[in-house]
Structure formats: structure tokens, C-alpha cells
Structure 1
């Protein structure tokens, strides 16, 4: 298969998975206490650079379909893009790929909940809620996913 086609297919599948996971678990994907199961997919830059646009586009579409405000659609999705890029750069150590999505989303989504949605809770409380959700989904579920995919990684790893 052509390398470009392979890249686009991987990115598209990741984006679609992200959207489906957010929508299926929409009851916990939005709001002041967020637990997005789809955030487990942010470990995928460990395997392939196609995960960078994949999780970004998935987050963008999920935020639009989920009814997020414009600031969340823009800045929440850009936070995911930056986190995916940094995770890819840190892929030499598996556990490090979890750090950018956890930290960036804790800060950005915490501010978005306060400023864009006007949630009256304190900023640190909102960030704490996001942090808890990110720790469970990215570090907890994400690391389980990473280790589960290692045996079949020859099908998804970038050929460098």
C-alpha cells in the first residue's frame, strides 16, 4: 500500500475511534468532571505519527458533534494536537507519552471549563477534576492499551 494512503487510513481510523468512544461514552465525556475513555488513544503516537492528526481530528469532530462551545472546539482540539505531537517526540520511553496529554488537557480544559463555560467552581477544582479523568483514561487505560498493542505493533509502527 502507498505510504501516504497508509498514513491517511491510520489517521482516519484513529479519528473515527476517538469520535465513537466520545459519543458512546458521552455521559462522561463532557462537563466539569470529564472522563473521556477516548483519551486512552492519546498513547498512539508511541506507535505512529499518524496518531497526531488522528486524535486531533477525532477530538475536533467529537467536540463539534458533542455540542461544545466554539472556544472548546478550537482550543480543546489544539490542546490535543499539541499533546499528540509532544507525545510522539517523547516516544522513546513509553510512560512519557502519557505526560503531555495529562498536563496539557488538565490546564487547557480546566481554563475552558472556567472561562468558556462559566462553571462557577474554582479553577484548581476544575483542573483537579480534569486531572483525575486524564490520569484514569490516559495513564490507566492508555498504558493498558499501549502494552496490549505492543505484540501487534509491527502493523501500526511507522517505518523509519
Structure 2
């Protein structure tokens, strides 16, 4: 029975994380300052520190958010893969410093998204410049806002993210 409860809890957590990511993405919860875009949903990439269910939750949330947000196929695929890579490596860093946890999504998006912008959307800016601007946006959303979210959730982690054995 405990194993069945763990599976249900895992699915419930993943679904809730996916739903929140989708809502934040589709409702346009982002800011743009010139070339720098801050996607608030990316703050959720800190959640694999608390639960492994965040990995599929973030991936599916990004996939659905991009689909419902009107992204084109390469963006849907590679943007979601960037989020998945970030989530997996954030989970791997969960027992290290909390300040390392946001690095994987920042790095994954900084490397992958500029190529999507250049070759899928034909953005005429140089890739190194887009790496800088995407990186700045990710540092703000996944790094700064993600760490604020971490601090807000940390003291409630045993209640919010019951153990999935």
C-alpha cells in the first residue's frame, strides 16, 4: 500500500508543478526589458531540490506551456529539453549548496535557447549576444526569484513535499 501511495503522491506533485508552470507561462507571467526576458515560471526550476516529481512536472509544464503559448515546434521541443536538463541536474545538486541549484537551468537555457531563437525564429542577433541576454533573464528568474522561492518553501518542505520513497 505504501508503494501505491508513493506513486500517487509522485504523480500528484508532478501534475501540480506542471499546472503551475503552465499557468505562469500561458498567462504571460514574464517581463521583457529590451532583449532580456524574465519568465517567472522558470523560478520553479528550483523545485527538484525538494522532490523528484519536479523533473517530469517541469518538463511537461514547459512542454504544455510552450504549446498553449503558441511556440513553434523547435521551441516546444528544445525549450522543453532545456528545462528537463536543468531539472535533472538541479536534482543531482540538491545536497550541495542551495546557490548551485539554479545553475543547471541557467546553463541549459543559455546554451540551447539562443540556437532556437536564431534558427527557428530567425532572430537576426548574434548567438553570443542572445546567450548573454537569455542568461541574464535566467539568472533573474531561476537564480534570484528561484532562490527566493527556495527560502519561502524550505521551512515547509516536509509538509509540502512529503517523502516519495
Measure, in 1, the Cα distance between the counterparts of 2:65 and 2:137.
Answer: 17
CA distance in 2, matches of 1:159, 1:53: 14
Runs of 4+ with deviation above 3 angstroms: 26-29, 157-160
Note if contact 2:38-2:138 (Cα within 8 Å) is conserved in structure 1: yes
Cα root mean square deviation, aligned: 1.7
TM-score (norm 1): 0.93
Residues 77 and 136 of structure 1, relative CA distance in 2, 3 Å threshold? same
Matches within 5 A, 1:43-62: 43-62=46-65
Distance 2:27 2:66 in 1: 13
Within 2, Cα distance between the matches of 1:145 and 1:99?
A: 15
Q: What does 1:4-153 align with in structure 2 at a 5 Å threshold? A: 4-25=7-28, 28=31, 33-93=36-96, 94-153=98-157
Is the CA contact (8 Å cut-off) linking 1:42 and 1:55 kept in structure 2?
A: yes
* Cα 1:32/1:75, change in 2 over 3 Å: farther
Structure-2 change in CA distance of 1:47 and 1:27 (3 Å): closer
- In structure 1, the gaps of 5 or more residues are none
State TM-score, norm by structure 2. 0.90
Q: Quick check: which one's helix share is greater? A: 1
> Is the Cα–Cα contact under 8 Å of residues 49 and 158 in structure 1 kept in the other structure?
no
Q: Give the secondary-structure state (helix, strand or coil) at the position aligned to 1:34.
A: strand
Task: Return 5+ residue gaps in structure 2 as ranges.
Answer: none
How many residue pairs get aligned? The number is 159
More strand by share: 2
